[in-house]
Amino acid sequence: MKWKLVRECGSWDRGRWQWKLIWRRPLLGRELIWEQALLHEISLVQLHEGVPDGWIWLPNTDGLFSVQSAYLFLQESDLPEADPVFISVWTSFAPSNVKGFAWRVLLDRIACRENLLKRRVIASISDASCVFCNSHLESSFHVLFSCPFSMQIWQGCFQWLGCSLFQSNTIREHFFQFRFGTNKLQQRLSHSIWLAAIWSLWLVRNDIFFRGGTAAIEVVLESIKRRSWQWNKANMRGFSYSSSDWFLNPHLCIVGS
């Protein structure tokens, strides 16, 4: 792939660009996931047959950059960085790759099958069903939140936390259910659980998809508890609770921090 031009990495098929990525060797496990994510990202760019490549500055109608247009663009744009949900994800105790994944979940930019179908990375709707229930189109909201399997995981999380799970219609609402305690630090500890849950669900989804693995509720719940404790322990100074404290009563560890 190194030094290749775009025109060498695919071809036109009846007016539509089809990516054909060629690698030095066959891709393995995690690399296949990266390839899917890459295909998803690049498929968002619309190519036009016969049009030469060039740079366009979108905020200006003539396509040319000016400082004034950049200034106006920054003033007017609704940048996700300023949104409280993105700030909460960014300041959480999760590792940066997990924060990046959570951002893509919130922006509906993960390589779930519905998005791959929309971008024509997969061709048929029959290949786009959820790996957990096999009976629903795999959208990001479905696979991570509303699939019966994922719902059981979230119910398990709330049971572990000693609270009730409310029905959320958006990912943002779902995220903000994880705000236990009264101060920002306590809320950051709670956010780790939400991030560990979406990450653990996504990893098990990939394990089924790419390696024919199986989904077991207890195993996923265990990994959520373990990951959230590890992230909090590693990144919050003064977090003194042991893994058994956390496994036994996370709510107490959060409000006691």
Residues that bind Zn ion (CB under 5 A): 130, 132-133, 136, 147
CB of 237 to Zn ion, least distance (A): 39
CB 147, CB 128: distance < 8 Å: no
**Rounded to whole angstroms, what are the CA distances from 252 to 45, 62, 186, 203?**
47, 59, 11, 28
CB of 146 to Zn ion, least distance (A): 8
CB 73, CB 59: distance < 8 Å: yes
Secondary structure element (H or E) that encloses residue 12, with its range: strand 10-13
Cβ closest to Zn ion, residue 130 vs residue 198? 130
Cβ closest to Zn ion, residue 40 vs residue 205? 205
| CA–CA distance, 75 with 71 (Å, rounded to integer) | 6
Cβ closest to Zn ion, residue 132 vs residue 145? 132
CB of 200 to Zn ion, least distance (A): 16
| CA–CA distance, 122 with 104 (Å, rounded to integer) | 20
Residue with tokens 């990266």: 34
Cβ closest to Zn ion, residue 102 vs residue 130? 130
Phi-psi region of 50 (alpha: psi -120 to 50; beta: other; left: phi over 0): left
Secondary structure element (H or E) that encloses residue 17, with its range: strand 16-19
Write down how long the chain is: 257
Cβ closest to Zn ion, residue 124 vs residue 134? 134
CB of 143 to Zn ion, least distance (A): 6
Cβ closest to Zn ion, residue 46 vs residue 214? 214
CB of 208 to Zn ion, least distance (A): 11
Residues whose CB falls within 8 Å of the CB of residue 49, separated by 6 or more in sequence, listed in order: 12, 15, 17
Three-class DSSP category at 13: strand
CB of 199 to Zn ion, least distance (A): 18
